[in-house]
Amino acid sequence: SRCRLNETASFPQHCIVGTDQYSTGRTAAMSITAPELLAVALVASLGPWVWIACRQEPTASAWSAPAVDDESPGARLRGLSTDFQQHLSGGLWWLAILIVLAVLVLHEYVEERPDFFFTVLLSYSMCFLTSCVVLFAAWLRVGKANDVRPGLLAIFFLSGGCLGVLFALVFEMIEEVAWSRLSPHCNMNVMPTTPECSALAATMWILTPGLIEETGKALWLFFRFRRSAGQLPARCCLGIFPAGHSYDCGCWYKLAPTPYHVVLCALASGAGFECLENIKYVFMNTNAVQMLGTEHGSDLLTIAEMRALTSGLHMVWTGIIGWGLARRLFLPADQRPSLLCVVLPSVVMHGLYDFSLSALSWVGKSEKLGIVSEEAGTDYALLFFLLLVVSSCGSCCMLAKLTGLRFCGSRSCCCAPGFWEARFPCAKVQSHPPYVGYAVRAREIREPLISS
């Protein structure tokens, strides 16, 4: 509906050069060539993974930690202060901060239309409903018993939500501009239904929302987590700043003593991203709030309901990456996966899901423009629908199976208690936080063996 037909062209000329909405606000990038823009976005989204893969020091990232059967118990044998221990495990006050921030954002939208308080409140609540219910259920089933603190989940909820969304907004915008200028006749906004354009557009969707958004959500797991206190760096930022306390760069790091910590925090990071994206679509990308009280006043609640019904996939894709990171951290050397095998499935499935949604909307437009026949359009629509189902339902089934879903034998639901031990019987899971041993050892050194 935003595209205008040219009298002499069989394809919307305005769609070829990009929509008005797409072009507005991007003048700052116009002075840079398209290859340069694309290079900036790809370096920003691929560079962190290259850094993680190449850095082999145990303190560089969670990925570079030695295998559990190769780890020596010698590093940093010192006691950690009680405050720093609480910080490393995730203080409950982070959950309070998350709740306060959510209430402040709600207050802004209520202030805009105070006469429709309950409609705004219900729509806003639906932006969080699905993700928070799933995350809470997963925590009850496997997190509580394994001492996964709610504050730790809140920290990664904020990391995936605030840092992840900011990362995605900046670099997706840059990459979309680059694609539209490199390929004006076929890009993420212009997708005539042809085999060539479909293949090219699918690649763009994988490299843009697939790669960038999954990087924005999962990156913090790799950079912030450490398996034990011995892998915490003494200094950070290339050795410039100290990182030994909660009031210096040590505030960045968190401990993941069990695989359940990694998987649940990955779900939390995806949930944070999903909730902020829901708020963006419900309250920011439409004028539904301003339309309250008119004949279209129900649009706000309708959009929120649709977002609630389709939420959860961001959690699934990040959860799959978290599962791979947990395998890297807690399995012997011969069972550890490669970084490509951990990250690539979620990136591809995410990109194909978004591509199939967009491609389905272009089938009807292409039929009207005579690009494809009605019969061919039906075949394309079926293909894109199957791709949509496989990339969404397939992702959910994959994570559910990894976390214990069973229909045969001893039946169980996803996030089944003990799902890690059931899949890897020989893997050892620590029953206490990894800093306890260091603190106890330091105390034993200071205190006499026999008190008078």
Indicate whether 54 pLDDT > 90. yes
Indicate the pLDDT class of residue 125, thresholds 50, 70 and 90. Answer: very high
- Residue 184 predicted with pLDDT over 60: yes
Q: Which of 140-154, 233-247, 301-315, 419-433 has the highest mean pLDDT?
A: 140-154
Please report the pLDDT score of residue 297 as a whole number: 66
Query: Residue 28 pLDDT > 80, yes or no?
Result: no
CB within 8 A of 281, min separation 6: which ones? Answer: 303, 307
One-letter amino acid at 16 equals I
Please determine, for residue 392, whether its predicted confidence score (pLDDT) is greater than 60: yes
Burial class (CB in 10 A: 0-12, 13-18, 19+), 99: exposed
Q: Model-level pTM greater than 0.85? A: yes
* pLDDT band per the 50, 70, 90 thresholds, residue 30: low
Q: What is the pLDDT of residue 430?
A: 58
Q: Given a cut of 60, is residue 348 above it in pLDDT?
A: yes
235-236 and 254-255 beta bridge pairing: unpaired
* Gap between the Cα atoms of 80 and 232, Å rounded: 11
Token pair of 215, please? 């990087």
| Terminal C-alpha separation, the chain | 87
CA distance 340 to 398: 17
Percent of all residues in the chain with a pLDDT value above 70, rounded to a whole number: 84
Angstrom distances, CA of residue 180 to CA of 38, 210, 351, 450: 11, 17, 17, 76
pLDDT number for residue 21: 41
Looking at residue 300, its pLDDT comes to: 87
What pLDDT was estimated at residue 60? 86
Instruction: Give me the phi and psi of 242, to 5 degrees please.
Output: -70, 155
Q: Over 90: is that where the pLDDT of 443 sits?
A: no
Strand ranges inside 188-243, DSSP E: 225-226, 235-236, 241-242
26 has pLDDT over 90: no
Compute the average pLDDT of residues 15-34: 53
Show the tokens assigned to 259: 């695989």
Per-residue model confidence (pLDDT) at position 72: 58
Would you call 208 exposed, middle or buried from its count of C-beta atoms within 10 A (0-12, 13-18, 19+)? buried
At 284, is the pLDDT very low, low, confident or very high (cuts 50, 70, 90)? confident
